[in-house]
Structure 1
Amino acid sequence: LNTFHLQRTLGTGSFGRVHLVQSKFNQKFYALKVLKKADVVRSKQVEHTRNERSILMSISHPFLINLWDTFQDDANLYMVMDYVPGGELFSVLRKSKRFSENIARFYAAEVLLGLVYLHNKDIIYRDLKPENILLDSEGNIKITDFGFAKHVVDVTWTLCGTPDYLAPEIIQSKGYGKPADYWSFGVLIYEMLVGSAPFYDENQFKLYEKIVACKPVYPSYFSASAKDLLSHLLTKDLSNRFGNLKRGCSDIIEHPWFQPMDFEKLIHRKITPPYIPKLQGEGDTSNFDKYPEETVPYGLAQADPHRHLFPEF
C-alpha cells in the first residue's frame, strides 16, 4: 500500500470502495479496490471475492478490466486495477436520455466481444448493466466489477445479479448458465435504446413478475432488426434464445442489426467511439461522482481472524 499515493474515492460498494491511486514507481494511475475482510465474511462473499480475483488474473481482453496486483493487511483486501477515467456508460446514457441505434450498436458490439471471450473460457459474468461498463480515455469500453463472475461449465444455481437484469430462469430458481448473460445483454441494448430497462418497476416483486411474464414493449421508433434481435435475446425459451443455439454467438454477431459493424476493426480499436470523454490529463476524476472519504486509515495493525480465508491475496 505504501507504494501508492492514495487519492479520492471513485465509488463505494456494500463492503468496500474504489480509490484513485498513483504508483510511486511508474507514476501511473490505477484504481485500487479496497474490501473490508470482516464485511466480506459477514456478507458471505468470501467465495465471490476469491472468484473475482482468480477470474481477473486469468483474463486479458481489450474490453475487460485488467487486474495488476492484489495484497492484504490485517483489515482489508486490496486489488490494483486499471484506472478507466471516462466514467460509467450509465452516466453518458442518463445525460443523453437514450442512444441512437448507431451509438447503442457500438457499445453493444464491444460488450458482446467481451462476453464471448469470457464464455469461451466458461466464465459467466452475471452482472451486466451500464453502471459496470466504463469508458476509457478514447471512449472504448471496459467491463468492470467481476464480483459475481464465476467459472461454470454447465449450470449454476446462486441467485445473484441486479434485479432489472436478471433472466427469468434465475428468478424461477432454475439452474442457469451463459444464456442468462445473453438475456442481460438484451436488457442492456433495450435500455440504451429506450433510456429505461424493459421490465422496470419500483416494486421488486412486480418487476420479477414482469420479467417472468416476458412481454417487453418495443417503441415504434425501433428498427425491425432491433426488434428482431431483442425478441431473440429477451425470450424465456432457452431453445430459442440467441447465444444458446447451435451457432452460438454467431447468431448475434451476424444478425442484421449488427450488419453495419466491422467486428474485426472493432476488436483492434480501429473504430472511432461515438463519445470521447473530456479529460484534463491522466488522473482526471471529473467523470466520477464525489463520495465522502473513508475516515479510518488503511494499514493499521490489528487482530486478523480472516487472513486464512484469502490465501491468494
Structure 2
Amino acid sequence: MKILKKRHIVDTRQQEHIHKGASKVPSVTLFLVFRLYRTFKDSKYLYMLLEACLGGELWTILRDRGSFDDSTTRFYTGCVVEAFAYLHAKGIIYRDLKPENLILDSRGYAKLVDFGFAKKIGFCKKTWTFCGTPEYVAPEIILNKGHDVSADYWSLGILMYELLTGSPPFSGPDPMKTYNIILRGIDMIEFPKKVTKNAANLIKKLCRDSPSERLGNLKNGVKDIQKHKWFEGFNWEGLKKGTLTPPITPKVSSPIDTSNFDSFPEDTDEPPPDDNSGWDYDF
C-alpha cells in the first residue's frame, strides 16, 4: 500500500503527476508491467493498493554486483522490450526508464514500475513535456523538439549500457552538463572493452540522435530489436509466457518478506492537515 499526503501533493503542485501515474496502470494486464489494483482516499491521504513485487530493485542488485554479464543484461532488457511493446501498442509512452524503476517479482522477472511520467499520446503523435531522469533523457526532449515512443527506445540503449558497465554513458556533475554531453552523441562515448561488439552495435542503434533512425522506431518496430544479433537465440516466447528461467532468483521466504528492499525508519511525523479541495474526486 502506497500512502501519499494529499496536502503535500497540493503544496508541491503534483496533482496532475499523481493522476497520470494512477490512470495509466489499472488497464495493464501484461505481467511484466506493475499492477495497480485499487485507489482509496480520506481527508488526509491517498492510498494505492499495488502489486507486491518482493524481489527488490534491479538497481540495488546492480549496485551490489557492479555490472551484469551479457546474458543477465539480455534478460532484463528483454523484459523492458516486451513491456514497451505492450504500452506503445496502447499509445502510452513511459519516459522514466532506469534500474530503480525495474523491480523483480519473487521469481526474478523484472517489472516496470512508477508511471508518474507515462502519458497516453496515441499513435504518430508527439508531446512536448520536459521530463525524465537526466542521464536517460533523449536529445529531442532536451532540445524541446517534441518526442514520441522513440524516446523510450533511446532510454533502452542507456539502460543496456548501464547494466553492462555499472554506470550510464552520459553523466555530468549537474543536469545541464549531462544534457550537453548527451547532445554530443553516443559516438563520442568510448565503450569499455567488456561490452561486446554486438551489444555496442545495438546500443548505438538505439541511441541514434535522430528519432527516425532509432531501432524500435523503424517500419518493423520492436521486431528490429528482437531480431538484432545481440538477441540471437533468445527465447522471446518463453519470456512472454513466463517460462524462461531468470538469471537471478531472489530469496523470498513468504508473501510478506520485504528483506530484498532497503529498510527505512518509520514515519514519526504528525498527521498532515486535511485537504478537501476535491482535486482527487475520481480516486
Please state how far the C-alpha of 1:202 moved relative to its aligned partner. Answer: 2.1
Letter in 1 for 2:145: K
Could you say which residue in structure 2 is the equivalent of 1:53?
Answer: 22
Does 2:66 align with 1:97? yes
Counterpart pick for 1:117 among 68, 86, 111: 86
Q: Distance in 1 between matches of 2:157 and 2:30?
A: 22
Q: Which runs of 5+ in 2 are unaligned?
A: none
Structure 2 CA distance for partners of 1:303 and 1:203, relative to 1, 3 Å:
closer
Q: Distance in 2 between matches of 1:189 and 1:207?
A: 18
Q: Where does 1:180-259 land on structure 2 (aligned, <5 Å)?
A: 180-214=151-185, 215-259=188-232
Counterpart pick for 1:161 among 129, 132, 157: 132
Does 2:252 align with 1:279? yes
Please state how far the C-alpha of 1:296 moved relative to its aligned partner. Answer: 4.2
> Does the 8 Å CA contact 2:151/2:211 hold for their aligned counterparts?
no
Counterpart pick for 1:309 among 275, 279, 282: 279
Q: Distance in 2 between matches of 1:241 and 1:220?
A: 24
Q: Distance in 2 between matches of 1:304 and 1:218?
A: 51
Q: Distance in 2 between matches of 1:200 and 1:260?
A: 33
Does 2:112 align with 1:143? yes
Q: Say which SS state the counterpart of residue 35 (structure 1) adopts.
A: strand
Does 2:251 align with 1:290? no
Q: Which runs of 5+ in 1 are unaligned?
A: 1-31
Counterpart pick for 2:49 among 59, 64, 80: 80
TM-score normalised per structure 1:
0.86
Counterpart pick for 2:233 among 260, 277, 280: 260
Divergent runs of 4+, >4 A: none
Does 2:142 align with 1:171? yes
Q: Distance in 2 between matches of 1:150 and 1:35?
A: 21
Count of matched residue positions in the alignment of Structure 1 and Structure 2: 279
Q: Distance in 2 between matches of 1:152 and 1:43?
A: 25
Q: Say which SS state the counterpart of residue 79 (structure 1) adopts.
A: strand
Please state how far the C-alpha of 1:58 moved relative to its aligned partner. Answer: 1.7
Letter in 2 for 1:181: D
Q: Say which SS state the counterpart of residue 118 (structure 1) adopts.
A: helix
Could you say which residue in structure 2 is the equivalent of 1:133?
Answer: 102
Q: Say which SS state the counterpart of residue 197 (structure 1) adopts.
A: coil
Please state how far the C-alpha of 1:44 moved relative to its aligned partner. Answer: 2.3
Deviations 1:118-146 (A, max 9, x none): 00001011100000100111111111111
Letter in 1 for 2:247: P
Q: Say which SS state the counterpart of residue 251 (structure 2) adopts.
A: coil
Please state how far the C-alpha of 1:82 moved relative to its aligned partner. Answer: 0.6
TM-score normalised per structure 2:
0.95
Please state how far the C-alpha of 1:253 moved relative to its aligned partner. Answer: 1.0
Letter in 2 for 1:293: E
Q: CA RMSD in A?
A: 1.4
